Structure 1
């Protein structure tokens, strides 16, 4: 199997981001976005997806958390798209339900090349540790759009920390499943012959 890795940078007037990704890693992470809770979520994402992941972001946090969270989602999505290449042999589809104490998140993913995002939930609190709760939803949309995923996500609970953490862990587990190589499949998993 070829290396499924990527190194992506994004520099705008609002953020300066570097992401490295190894889909077939061991879950080693180094993350520094300037938002402690977001760092914790990205660390959980890498750990539970067994992705080796580094993320550094120098963003305009004096404004708010929006540009940092959105642009990291964009850049990480680009990294997944680059690392997956022509998607030959991947499992493609996956779904996971992941609990976090009283919360539980449901994730359904298709590495289809057709970006689509659906989310029909509300968070219990408006923010967690310097991150606006809504931005977790926006992160998922940004990642799905740039990685070319069809992504359906929902969450229920009583604590926004647990709700968001369940979403990140669920996404990690589902992407780990969907990106796995199926030895029986030589081509892209599509009747079209490509994704």
Structure 2
């Protein structure tokens, strides 16, 4: 079973997390930010990752440290759960409609962090959540996991729908990328012989 417990404490945030890559999408998320809770719950359900996450952060400042640090801990948990990456598909893509929005997400668990961000969210906020933090989340996650993540808005005018579509598409792309190909279960999916 690819199950990891992780924690991180700084002067800005205190985070505890349990992740099961081979779950059924059960979640218990409390970040101190309602919109982020909603996005991580969608991420868990659509990726079929079981996720328990609690964060106490300096939300009286804003949500920046909370979002970035959760992404770091989540990326590290994915990395630990994947071990040496043997047998994984490595790549995953999803094009996902969310009402009027159409979002593309693609990932490569390559050991090389990169983010291609072309989400183009029309408003600066959804509720009290700064929409620029979506890119910060992806940067923290990609660096900690060691993966390339590309997200692109193909259509859409509603900021909530665009961001929600991105989290759902990312989850489904990751679900494909982390899945084990039983035919090559012992093989590292790289001609280098290593991904780490």
TM-score by length of 1: 0.97
SS at 2:182 equivalent: coil
Moved more, 182-191 or 40-49: 182-191
Q: Within 5 Å, which residues of 2 pair with 1:64-83?
A: 64-83=62-81
Which residue of the other structure, out of 89, 92, 114, is the alignment partner of 2:90? 92
In the alignment, is the contact (CA less than 8 A) between 1:115 and 1:148 conserved in 2?
Answer: yes
Distance in 2 of aligned mates of 1:121 and 1:101: 16
1:187 shift after superposition: 1.3
Instruction: Give 1:12-161 correspondences, 5 Å limit.
Output: 12-155=10-153, 156-161=155-160
Could you say what the CA RMSD is over the residues aligned between the two structures, in angstroms? 0.8
Quote the residue 2:163 is aligned against.
164
Q: Contact (CA 8 Å) 2:25, 2:51: kept in 1 or not?
A: yes
Aligned-pair CA distance for 1:109: 0.6
Q: How many pairs are equivalent?
A: 193
Question: 1:111, 1:149 within 8 Å by CA — same for their partners in 2?
Answer: yes
Of 169-178 and 130-139, deviating more is 130-139
- How far the C-alpha of 1:152 sits from its partner, in A, is 1.0
Which 4+ stretches in 1 moved above 4 angstroms? none
CA contact (8 A) 2:125 2:131 kept: yes
User: The residue matched to 2:55 in structure 1 has which SS?
Assistant: strand
Tell me the distance in 1 between the aligned counterparts of 2:57 and 2:119: 28
1:21 Cα offset (Å): 0.4
Report if aligned partners of 1:187, 1:194 keep a CA contact under 8 Å in 2.
no
- 1:16-73 superposed Cα distances (whole Å, 9 cap, x missing partner): 0011100000100000001001000000000000000011100000000100011100
CA distance in 2, matches of 1:130, 1:104: 24
The 3-state SS of whatever aligns with 2:85 is coil
